[in-house]
Chains A and B, each alone.
Chain A
């Protein structure tokens, strides 16, 4: 049987079938190679060769992106080294560094023990370098009610649907002794991030730390199973917009969004019982304690005392301790280390506060530098 162009119709099906088989083989082959070789099959490695020698390639968290963009721009004009950073999200950053297609990853949530073990099983050791701190802010929309005070247990109640009204006893008891101001008998609308986010992680971490039932029933993560009445909005900007729109709404966003939207901000009770408003200072203060040697610490999930704001977090850059991988040169590794050291110095750190990130306090900065000095190229210190 031939059609007008002279093809055997069967042949068309055969060729189509062949295409599918070829694609399938290619897939399986890539997958296998990836398992043996921990991700050799990635196009980005090839594409790297087209960059100039001194390019540094990074990917990950979007939360510190505005700051990193500023830092890398400044670094480029000072040191003539270009840093190419893709803000694809923390999860993507971890995945990319795991398959070794980039020089550094960036994340808002440090690797947990399970992930560390996973890396270890592939013979890889990751260093966490804290760069700056950020804060998650609880903003709300209640006309005429300023200086709201909240604690972790009440927030957990609001975000699990147990506390439904603004004049609930539990909120009242934290906000007594007001002259003239009273909490309205209004429904609370709890707004949360609908996209997977480090902000949600920090927020839920603090709620889990403050409330056992939250830890048990909801848990800690970048995306959660929220109660039915909670309202999801995409991105910091989406949550901010919904808080602005809806009277009686409450939501958590990163500090810079709350400040630029001029939303009222709640003071949060820390482990010393003090109600602390988020500010660059109180966020830095939260990290003033002794850090573990690998800097993997969740400030939001540990007791924060003194003048520290409890909903604070580090944001980290992830690099391999062993820099000799995937045909990288010593020069490349050195460039990376110099760049990271620059970020930790006053040059880099001074860019943080104008963009509402908190610079590392002294002790943490020293710790970060000492972690950085563990970077190796084969057996040689960088």
Chain B
């Protein structure tokens, strides 16, 4: 009888533990949002509503507008995603289907996990020392000023950084496609390409898309590598080689030396807005995807 009581209590404790753990994350997120919001809105009367609509960022004259950074953030994110999608899909099909279970697939997966473990400052440095000189040659040849950095360079390095996330998830879901489905398709005379296209990809679709969503979130938040490569000018880019800025970069650049309280709040406000915007973005993206399929 007593042991029965103990077991019940253990069960209750277990349940409580799970519950607490699960709600820790939303509590932390909301807590962060709240603390950022309090600092931000403390000086909001000074910062003003044009904060969300203006493209003028001028700390000397205490004028703050973040629209350039918002555009820059999404520009680099979408471009990086565009660069990474073909490679990520190819890698997931290769390692999850064509070469599944072979040594080569394992090797590629291991290399990918090494890429995901490279600190972003190292990626940024590689970009600065290797990619920008190449970009400069291209820009000189095409008659653009040879900055080397810019949103294009930043997106290219970012694409490599976000690739492992979607590739891993893609590989997992593709390898989980039931064998009998594939065999049935082959039995009907489908080629390998047709099996991949009409059986595997539709089956694994939701997992693959989730992988891209994770990649996107990662791209929105990436800071150091982008900061080193984007050129850090607070203007909209003029051409494909143009320099601009992202929300995370501005914070990384200016946070530590933000002297006045208003300036400090304006920078904290970027963090606040970044969380809100990326939450809205991921909700809308999910909704759109749901409606499509």
Binding site for B on A (CB under 8 A): 5-7, 12, 15-16, 19-20, 23-24, 27-28, 31, 62, 88-92, 94, 109, 115, 187, 189, 194-198, 218-226, 228-234, 238, 241-242, 245-247
Taking A221-B59, A232-B243, A245-B133 as contacts, is the C-beta distance between A89 and B256 under 8 angstroms? yes
Most buried by A among B31, B35, B233, B257: B257
Q: How far is the CB of B30 from chain A (nearest CB, A)?
A: 5
B232-A247 in contact (CB<8A): no
Contact A234 B133 (CB under 8 A): no
Closest chain A residue to B267, Cβ basis: A196
B183 CB–A CB distance under 8 Å: no
In this complex, what residue of B is CB-closest to A20?
Answer: B30
Q: By the criterion CB–CB under 8 Å, are B259 and A5 in contact?
A: no
Contacts of B52-89 to chain A: CB distance below 8 A: 56-61
CA distance A19 to B57 in the complex (A): 36
Determine the interface band of chain B, counting residues with CB < 8 A from chain A: 35 or more
B60 touches A195 (CB 8 A): no
Cβ-defined partner of B234 (8 Å) among A7, A222, A225: A225
**Binary contact track B139-163/A, C-beta < 8 Å → 1, others 0:** 0000001111100000000000000
Q: Which residue of A lies closest to B129 (CB)?
A: A241
A245-B259 contact in complex given A195-B254, A234-B227, C-beta closer than 8 Å: no
Q: How far is the CB of A197 from chain B (nearest CB, A)?
A: 6
Asked if A91 contacts B145 (CB within 8 A), the reply is no
A368 to B225 Cα, complex, angstroms: 41
Known contacts A232-B243, A245-B132; A226/B233 CB under 8 A: yes
CB–CB B227/A194 < 8 A: yes
User: From residue 203 to 259 of chain B, which have CB atoms closer than 8 A to chain A?
Assistant: 227-228, 231-235, 238, 243, 245, 249, 252-259
Given A220-B60, A245-B148, residue A231 in contact with residue B257 (CB < 8 A): no
Q: In the complex, what distance in Å separates the CA atom of A5 from the CA atom of B19?
A: 10
A-chain residues with CB within 8 Å of residue B148 when the two chains form the complex: 242, 245-246
Give A199 Cβ to nearest chain B Cβ, in Å.
10
Q: Report yes or no: B31 in contact with A233, Cβ–Cβ below 8 A.
A: no
Indicate which residue in A23, A196, A219, A228 contacts B257 across the interface (CB closer than 8 Å). A196
Smallest Cβ-Cβ distance to A108: which chain B residue:
B257
Q: Shortest Cβ distance from A263 into chain B, in angstroms?
A: 16
Interface flag for B27 (CB, 8 Å): yes
Flag whether B18 is at the interface (Cβ < 8 A).
yes
Q: Please name all residues of chain A whose beta carbon is closer than 8 Å to the beta carbon of B47 when the two chains form the complex.
A: none
* Residue B116 at the chain A interface, CB threshold 8 Å: no
Does A24 lie within 8 Å of B34, measured CB to CB?
Answer: yes
Q: In the docked arrangement, what's the CA distance between A231 and B133, Å?
A: 15
Residues of A close to B91: CB separation below 8 A? none
> Are B146 and A247 touching (Cβ within 8 A)?
yes
Docked Cα-Cα span, A91 to B31, in Å, equals 25
User: Across the interface, which residues of B come within 8 angstroms of A197, CB to CB?
Assistant: 257
A189 touches B147 (CB 8 A): yes
Question: What is B's interface to A at a CB cutoff of 8 Å?
Answer: 15, 18-19, 23, 26-27, 30-31, 34-35, 38, 56-61, 128-129, 132-133, 136, 145-149, 227-228, 231-235, 238, 243, 245, 249, 252-259, 264
* Cβ-defined contact, B258 with A91, below 8 A: yes
Give the residue of B15, B19, B235, B255 whose beta carbon is less than 8 angstroms from that of A228. Answer: B235
Q: How far is the CA of A229 from the CA of B144 in the complex (A)?
A: 12
Q: How far is the CA of A7 from the CA of B235 in the complex (A)?
A: 52
One of B57, B253, B255, B257 near A225 (C-beta < 8 A): B57
Inter-chain contact A229/B256, CB cutoff 8 Å: no
Q: Which residues of B contact A196 (CB under 8 A)?
A: 59, 253-258
Alpha-carbon distance between A333 and B98 when the two chains are bound, in angstroms:
71
* 25 residue pairs bridging A and B, Cβ less than 8 Å apart: A5-B18, A6-B15, A7-B15, A15-B23, A19-B23, A19-B31, A20-B31, A90-B257, A91-B257, A92-B256, A94-B259, A189-B145, A189-B146, A189-B147, A195-B252, A220-B60, A222-B59, A222-B257, A223-B59, A223-B254, A231-B149, A231-B233, A238-B128, A245-B136, A246-B136
A219-B60, A242-B148, A247-B146 known; A16-B27 Cβ under 8 A: yes
Note all chain B residues with C-beta closer than 8 A to A62: 256
Kindly list the 5 A-B residue pairs having the minimum CB-CB distance in the complex, ordered from nearest. A196-B257, A232-B232, A89-B256, A194-B232, A219-B60
Contact A16 B257 (CB under 8 A): no
The interface residues of chain B lying within 8 Å CB-to-CB of A241 are 128-129
Report whether B146 and A232 are in contact in the complex, using a CB–CB cutoff of 8 Å.
Answer: no
Q: Chain B residues near A94: list those with CB within 8 A.
A: 259
- A91 to chain B minimum Cβ distance, whole angstroms, is 4
A375 to B254, CA, bound (A): 33
Name the A residues within 8 Å of B234 (CB-CB): 225-226
Residue contact A224 to B60, C-beta cutoff 8 Å: yes
Interface centre among B19, B38, B256 (most CB of A within 10 A): B256
